[in-house]
Structures are given as structure tokens and as C-alpha cells.
Amino acid sequence: MAAEILVSQATLTDAALLARLHASCFDRAWDQDAMARFAAGPGILCLIGSLDDAGPMPAGFLIARRAADQAEILTLGVVPAYRRLGLARALLQRAVEDLRRSGATQLFLEVDEGNEAALALYRALGAAPAGRRPGYYESGADAAIFSLALSDSRSDDGQIAEAPRQDQR
């Protein structure tokens, strides 16, 4: 039986945990102070993902920032041993729900163009390519930028839904 994925809101008290998770996912890790600033910042959404079969075991995180009606994923990571179990998808889906409720209508995400798993996930969630940043990452890799419509005026496939026309008679 597959483990249940739990996603919860991170708080300031989770800064050290967020820093450890970030360090396990990225070479240039954000430290506890940076994570505390994010967790306490206005317009910031911090989520932690856990697998219940490990007690629960925190294994992933997502940090997003909202300004007016736009939001962006600042970082998203899953500990390598727990990848491909649906944790990143669960974190993104929860972020989309929370950001939509907060008034965001557009979400931007960026990823190393060589990260095929993340590219496939973003596309599966309906994100559309929106540009690229050449040489964005320290390694020299380009960043692919995606946009995901969050407003209710768009259908699940990302297309704008036509509003019903009112009879003018």
C-alpha cells in the first residue's frame, strides 16, 4: 500500500527543518535565517510535505510568493530518496489551491531546462511555457519559465473559458 502524502503549512518554527530539507535537495542551500524570513514574510506560502508511513517523515517543501494577483514558486524540492512518489505534485496542487484562494490568478514557475521530471510535472498540471532565462543557473543551465492560470475564468486545460452570452433582446 502506498504511503499517504500529507501537506501542511510551515511556520517560523519550521525554519531549521526547511533549511535541512533545502540542503538535501540543492547544492546551494538556503540557511535557517533565510527560511525564517520566508516563513514570516507577507505574501509567502511555505508548505512541508510528509509521508505518513515514516511517522510522518518530512520529505519535501515548497515556498511561493504572491504579489497582487500573481505568484511565483521560489523553490520546490523533494529529498532524493522520496522522489517519484507524488510529493512534488501534492505540494504544487496544495499551493495552487491556497494561492487561488488568496486571490492569485497567475502562477509562474521556473526550472532547469534539463530537469525532465519537473518539466513533465509542470506540463501535466497545465502550465504553459512562458519563456526562458539563458545561463540562469550557476551551472550555466538555462531556466525554462512556465505560467499556470489560477483564475476561475480559465478551464482545467488552461484555456480561457467563454462566458455565457446574455441575450440582448
Q: Which residues are catalytic?
A: 110, 122
CA nearest 127: which of 102, 154, 111, 109?
109
Ramachandran region of residue 135, left (φ > 0), alpha (ψ -120 to 50) or beta? left
The long-range contacts involving 86-90, CB below 8 angstroms and separated by at least 24 positions, are 86/5, 87/5, 87/49, 87/51, 87/59, 87/60, 88/49, 88/60, 88/118, 88/121, 89/121, 89/124, 89/125, 90/5, 90/7, 90/49
CA nearest 99: which of 37, 26, 44, 167?
44
